[in-house]
Amino acid sequence: MIDTEIKVTPQIAAEHGLSPDEYARTQKILGRDPNLTELGIFSVMWSEHCSYKSSRVHLKRLPTRGPHVVQGPGENAGVVDIGNGLVAVFKIESHNHPSFVEPFQGAATGVGGILRDIFTMGARPIAVLDSLRFGPISPGADAGNATTEEIARNRSILDGVVRGIAFYGNCFGVPTVGGEVMFEPCYSNNPLVNALALGIARKDELFFARAHGAGNPVIYVGAKTGRDGIHGASLLASAEFSEESQQKRPNVQVGDPFMEKLLLEACLEAMRTGAIVAIQDMGAAGLTSTSSEMASRGGAGIEIDLARVPQRETGMTPYEMMLSESQERMLLVAERGREREVFDVFHKWGLDAVEIGRVTEDGKLRVLNHGRVAAEIPAHALAEEGPRYERPIAAPKAAAAPGAPLIEFARERADLTENFRRLLASPAIASKYWVTEQYDSMVRTNTRVGPGQGDAAVVRLKESKRALALSTDGNGRWGFLSPRLGAMHAVAEAARNVACTGARPIAATNCLNFGNPEKPEVMWQFTEAIDGIAEACRALETPITGGNVSFYNETLGKPIYPTPVLGVLGLMEDADCALGSGFRNEGDLILLLDGANPESFRSADLQVGMFSSSEYAKAIHGIVAGTPPAIDLTAEKRLIDCLVKLAAERAILSAHDVSDGGLAVTLAESCFDSDGLSAEIDLGSHDEPAESALFGERGARAVVSVAAALLARATAIAAQYDIKVQQVGSVTRGEFRIQYKGTPVIRGTTDSFRQTWSESLGKAIEAAS
């Protein structure tokens, strides 16, 4: 237990992660020395995780406005107008550090936290996506120097994270409809767990976290407060890991999805009474952040008495209660005189609802304990006037992958079938069904395109004919080789994936996973990525409506790849136009759509450089080098517009973008997700090595299938958007065969390829258990 009576010294402030300058700032704001409780409050509110002190000056460069945007960054989640009086509320957030220390609870509470961000705004969650990154789970060229022990631990982290997500989302009753599972050696001791949630609300029934109306009661609802999660935000999320990090396990919160489900239903029902003025969930920094942020945003003050807070343990100090990150709790402000209506709803659901304080006019966060003042801090200064840093930025002196050999292309007429098979078996490319079948992806009966069925998840809206599509994407390896290009590709791929289902991308959310911001090279990666995201989001008309920054993703001084993960939301006018990625009928024609000019990528140097950054180079040759493909945002935009039009006109039957693993993998996946269909492909003859033609990755391309009778129609639409169309083959029931320069370069039965692709992930994970 922490003795709150002790006098705060600069050393105690330092132990709380406050720099001497930050400590001096607390003294200036208060006009005196903070007591220990106040120091604790400042330390969590000004932690990197809560204050964005290193990132805020850069985040301003992101585009946040657009025709659909109702609420941009700054609230619990972003809000966009989707017509018919409805809004979509969505946001992505990281839970990386807790998921390393305690994978199951870390991932579970990550999902719980993002769900609360959605329903605290009055929206019912209708979908979750999880973007996951782990270290290698099997030995191989792509495992880097990972040791056997590391590989075993990575498997167990993955298993715990997947079980944690399933535990929480399945019980809560929200479908987990998509996401990613990626592998790179840099995530070995620092997995990335980024959870995105989407909700739906009526536009005129949104709730915000702005306390107002002096005298209005402040009501605590939900789970009781315990000692779990104290300093989760400041000590776990805002510092690097060392060998002792496992000892931080007590800092991880514990999740109760059933409690969260009750809280969801009770909150939505209480909101319908009209008696609620403001509401915010208690996430990172618990009572501290909710009370000070609600007061600050509403230009008011809040006074609470901790003695009235429902408690799970006895003898908790004000310090512990203010810093607890116990889950499934909310703070709300009700209209004075209508408390009873609110209490009745929460009691119906068997939840605590207790008036713990009131809104004041003095602008202060005043924390009482049995009537005695335990802390008193100006709320606005605490929430909004924390430190802001323009951290030093320095581009690295050497290239990201210095001295790494570039790839050497295989000889002409090489039989690449075996390499293709190995690529299909690599964890990055292999089917993620082993993971996704552990998630309930269908509850709420809106899932039109679920996990593995299309390039993005599609959920229909029962309230209208429309549907929403969502995709999360990011390529850490490309971010490592070029932070700016990597970030642009993340935006473009997520938007392209959404467009492949037929939805028009309308907004984005981002989760920025980086190393230690106090290192100038990391800050350089960060600012480059921000500029890349900003440029791409402008070009593709997908403003950023919210998200989260996760710094200090380092273990033993080694940062992760700079990994911006983009979640793009799309809107579809007619849910019946939604497209999957799988081929539909034997005899349909297969077209390769290309927004760029293929000739511009055919110079030999360019091919070698680009190809060295590909999934194939990593998986087959263990090479991570070169530079990601150049990106042409106007080409991406034209392709997106074209795909949306093709779907709306019902001119095509499937669409799948060309990404990890290149064209060969794209074609194979469209077969795997069909009813036993295959493909016969001829890529023609070009002055390009076969490996590059088959496995090369660059943006602005998609494979679509079309009924022969609609070929002219589809081609005409493509021409309107200046998209090049190459008819590369047809859907068959025979062998899977790709021919290039007149020679079959890949051939085999689709079943054998499918078996390799579908079984390898489960085999790798369950190998040791």
Q: Assess contact for 699 and 580: CB atoms under 8 A.
A: no
Question: What's the min distance (Å) between Cβ of 494 and another protein?
Answer: 24
- Indicate the burial class of 585 (C-beta count within 10 angstroms; 0-12, 13-18, 19 or more): middle
Position among 14, 373, 442, 768 found at the interface with another protein (CB under 8 A)? 442
Question: Does residue 763 touch another protein according to CB under 8 A?
Answer: no
For residues 268 and 205, the answer to whether their CB atoms sit within 8 Å is no
Is residue 103 at the binding interface for another protein, with CB under 8 A as the rule?
A: no
* Residues 738, 407 contacting (CB under 8 angstroms): no
Q: Is 653 near another protein (CB under 8 A)? A: no
**What secondary structure letter does DSSP report for 229?**
T
Asked whether position 440 contacts another protein by CB under 8 A, the answer is yes
Q: Shortest distance, CB of residue 458 to another protein, whole angstroms?
A: 11
Q: Which of 1, 149, 314, 350 binds another protein (CB under 8 A)?
A: 350
Does position 251 interact with another protein (CB under 8 A)? The reply is no
- Are 626 and 612 contacting, i.e. CB atoms less than 8 angstroms apart? yes
Strands 467-473 and 301-305, how do they pair? unpaired
Among 474, 497, 627, CA closest to 564: 474
Structure tokens at 680: 């016969």
Residue 737 binds another protein, judged by CB under 8 A: no
Among the listed ranges 107-115, 257-265, 526-534, 731-739, the one in contact with another protein (CB under 8 A) is: 257-265
Stretch that binds another protein, among 131-139, 336-344, 431-439, 477-485 (CB under 8 A): 431-439
* SS3 assignment, position 281: strand
C-alpha to C-alpha distance for 187 and 712, rounded to whole angstroms? 47
Stretch that binds another protein, among 101-109, 259-267, 278-286, 372-380 (CB under 8 A): 259-267
Footprint on residues 184-243 left by another protein (CB under 8 A): none
Q: Torsion angle, CA of 136/139/142/144, rounded to 10 degrees? A: 80
3-class SS letters over 534-594: HHHHHHHCCCEEEEEEECCCEECCEECCCEEEEEEEEEECCHHHCCCCCCCCCCCEEEEEE
Per CB under 8 A, does 102 bind another protein? no
Question: CB 643 → another protein: shortest distance, Å?
Answer: 20
Q: List the one residue from 408, 437, 687, 722 that touches another protein (CB under 8 A).
A: 437
Q: Which H or E run contains 745?
A: strand 743-748
Asked if 387 touches another protein (CB under 8 A), the answer is no
Closest Cα to residue 121, out of 37, 43, 197? Answer: 197
Position 112 contacts another protein (CB under 8 A): no
Q: Which two three-digit tokens encode residue 310?
A: 């429902």
Considering only residues 28 through 87, tell me which ones interact with another protein, judged by CB under 8 A.
none
DSSP string, 191-214: -EEEEEEEEEEEGGG-------ST
Considering the complex, what minimum distance in angstroms separates the CB of residue 437 from another protein? Answer: 5
Site string for another protein, 548-587 (x = CB under 8 A): ---------------------------xx-----------
Residue 628: closest CA among 654, 601, 652: 601
Position among 172, 207, 319, 480 found at the interface with another protein (CB under 8 A): 172
Residue 758 interacting with another protein (CB under 8 A): no
Q: Candidates 444, 538, 558, 741: give the one binding another protein (CB under 8 A).
A: 444
| Span from 168-176, 389-397, 610-618, 677-685 in contact with another protein (CB under 8 A) | 168-176
> Which of residues 475 and 750 has its CB atom nearest to another protein in the complex?
750
Q: Which of residues 578 and 671 has its CB atom nearest to another protein in the complex?
A: 578
Q: Which of 11, 145, 148, 445 forms a contact with another protein (CB under 8 A)?
A: 445
Nearest residue (CB) to another protein, 217 versus 226: 226
Distance of CA 318 to the CA centre of its chain: 34
How deeply is 477 buried, as exposed, middle or buried, from its count of CB atoms within 10 A (0-12, 13-18, 19+)? buried
Question: Is residue 448 near another protein by the rule CB under 8 A?
Answer: yes
Residue written as token pair 């990172």 = 284
# residues near another protein by CB under 8 A = 32
Among 73, 191, 257, 476, binds another protein (CB under 8 A): 257
Contacts of 600 (CB under 8 A, 6+ apart): none
* Interface with another protein, residue 726, by CB under 8 A: no
Q: In what side-by-side order are the strands of the sheet with 467-473?
A: 447-449, 457-460, 467-473, 563-572, 504-513, 544-550
Report the SS3 class of residue 472. Answer: strand
Picking from 602, 601, 608, 607, the residue whose alpha carbon sits closest to that of residue 407 is: 608
Q: Is 382 in the site for another protein (CB under 8 A)?
A: no
Q: Which residues have a catalytic role annotated?
A: 49, 95
Q: According to the binding rule CB under 8 A, does residue 376 interact with another protein? A: no
- Residues in the chain, how many? 769
Q: Where does this chain touch another protein (CB under 8 A) — which range of 74-82, 256-264, 509-517, 710-718?
A: 256-264
Q: Name which position in 256, 281, 320, 636 contacts another protein (CB under 8 A).
A: 256
Contacts of 603 (CB under 8 A, 6+ apart): none
Q: Does 144 engage in binding with another protein (CB under 8 A)?
A: no
Which DSSP letter does residue 241 get? B
**CB atoms near residue 584 (< 10 Å):** 18
Smallest distance from the beta carbon of 439 to another protein, in angstroms? 6
Q: Considering the rule CB under 8 A, would residue 438 count as an interface residue with another protein?
A: yes
Decide: is 761 part of the binding site for another protein (CB under 8 A).
Answer: no
Residue 389 CB neighbour total at 10 angstroms: 18
Sketch the per residue contact string, 327 through 346, with another protein: x for CB under 8 A, - otherwise: --------------------
Q: Is 466 in the site for another protein (CB under 8 A)?
A: no
Residue whose CB is less far from another protein, 461 or 718:
461
Comparing C-alpha atoms, which of 227, 199, 195 is closest to residue 109?
195
Q: Is 751 in the site for another protein (CB under 8 A)?
A: no
According to the binding rule CB under 8 A, does residue 535 interact with another protein? no
User: Which residues make up the interface to another protein (CB under 8 A)?
Assistant: 163, 166, 170-173, 256-259, 261-262, 265, 349-350, 436-448, 460, 462, 575-576
